[in-house]
């Protein structure tokens, strides 16, 4: 098949590399967002391989659509796409377009689909390849892959260890299904659909007076981005690597400081904070930060 690969960043680049390595299909063009500073990795790889690179800001004009059509593609593989691609562009390839999303659709439509399942204490997630429509992540499903969310998984664990490698490999299966001439289509169950906004700093603020499970899930579901945060003496402090522990006492109170980390009380349990980042600083061991600000047992976070 003649393929257009549309994507960005590491995932887009690795999908492109996977397709090129398989050498089963011909990549006729690579589409990515306009440059915003450093060159996107997928663009770098495409240029190294001598592939045409297109970077339209939108697909609203006839010239852009005509250029897309000129590649006479059979399928457009959309791997991590932020630019809205209208129907006129999606339907240009002979077999249309297929899009990747890092959740088990119809759950967790939206831009932070890896964060929210952890924050909401779900026990499984995964990814979907679906037929895109004008609705956000609403199209029919081609295929899905499910993986477990373990009690201590962070965004790093879930995405980069469980979703990402399998998703890159699955690009070959996607092409195989379309090459067969009978790619599956399954309707999304709208009664189960959820949508969450982008997980931002506003959502990642820690309330130590919440139950321990909610606090801990927020921390791990925001690690590494946007980074759960609290305050100490009015200064912001991002909290990253942590472990849930037993304990009881005043919420936000420092219970212990050691080389293992800083033990902070919540409701019904504690969080052993292992890595933090003060505003304007870099990530350091929690004990190192504690020494730098003269933190003591009995002090409070969230102040």
What does the alpha-carbon distance between residue 303 and residue 286 come to, in Å, rounded to a whole number?
17
Q: Say what the pLDDT of residue 142 is.
A: 98
pLDDT given for residue 303 in this prediction: 86
pLDDT for position 46: 98
What is the pLDDT, as a whole number, of residue 201? Answer: 97
Question: How large is the average pLDDT for residues 182-190?
Answer: 97
Which residue from 81, 288, 257, 95 is spatially nearest to 182, judged by alpha carbons?
A: 95
User: Is the confidence at residue 258, as pLDDT, over 90?
Assistant: yes
Task: Classify domain 2-192 by CATH number.
Answer: 3.40.50.170
The domain 212-292 having CATH identifier 3.40.50.1360: the answer here is: no
User: What average pLDDT score do residues 197-215 get?
Assistant: 98
| Contact call for residues 218 and 240 (beta carbons, < 8 A) | no
User: pLDDT digits over 87-120, tens only?
Assistant: 999 999 999 999 999 999 999 999 999 999 999 9
Report the candidate in 192, 200, 194 with the shortest Cα–Cα distance to residue 218.
200
Query: In terms of Cα–Cα distance, which of 173, 183, 192 is closest to 131?
Result: 183
**Both structure tokens of 263:** 């033990």
Domain ranges of the chain: 2-192, 212-292
Residue 227: which of 106, 84, 302, 115 has the closest Cα? 115
Does residue 4 surpass a pLDDT of 90?
Answer: yes
Percent of the chain with pLDDT over 70: 100
């Amino acid at each position: 098949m003649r393929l257009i690969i549309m994507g960005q960043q590491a995932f887009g680049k690795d999908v492109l590399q996977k397709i090129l390595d398989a050498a089963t299909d011909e990549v006729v063009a690579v589409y990515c967002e306009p440059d915003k500073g450093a060159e996107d990795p997928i663009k770098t790889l495409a240029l190294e391989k001598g592939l045409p690179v297109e970077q339209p800001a939108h697909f609203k004009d006839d010239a852009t659509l005509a250029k897309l059509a000129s590649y006479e593609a059979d399928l457009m593989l959309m791997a991590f796409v932020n630019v809205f691609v209208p129907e006129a562009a999606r339907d240009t390839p002979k077999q249309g377009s297929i899009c990747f999303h890092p959740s088990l659709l119809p759950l967790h439509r939206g831009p932070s689909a890896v964060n929210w399942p952890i924050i909401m204490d779900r026990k499984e997630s995964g990814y979907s390849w679906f037929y895109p429509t004008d609705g956000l992540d609403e199209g029919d499903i081609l295929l899905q892959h499910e993986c477990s969310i373990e009690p201590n998984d962070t965004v790093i664990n879930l995405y980069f260890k469980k979703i990402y490698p399998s998703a890159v490999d699955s690009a070959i299966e996607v092409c195989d299904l379309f090459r067969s001439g009978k790619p599956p289509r399954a309707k999304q169950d709208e009664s189960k659909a959820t949508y969450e906004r982008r997980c931002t700093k506003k959502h990642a603020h820690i309330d130590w007076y919440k139950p321990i499970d909610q606090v801990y899930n927020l921390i791990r579901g925001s690690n590494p981005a946007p980074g759960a945060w609290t305050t100490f003496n009015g200064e912001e402090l991002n909290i990253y690597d942590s472990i849930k522990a037993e304990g009881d006492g005043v919420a936000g109170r420092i219970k212990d400081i050691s080389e293992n980390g800083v033990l902070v009380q919540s409701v019904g349990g504690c969080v052993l904070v292992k890595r933090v980042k003060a505003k304007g600083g870099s990530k350091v061991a929690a004990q190192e930060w504690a020494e730098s600000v003269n933190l003591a047992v009995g002090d409070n976070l969230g102040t």
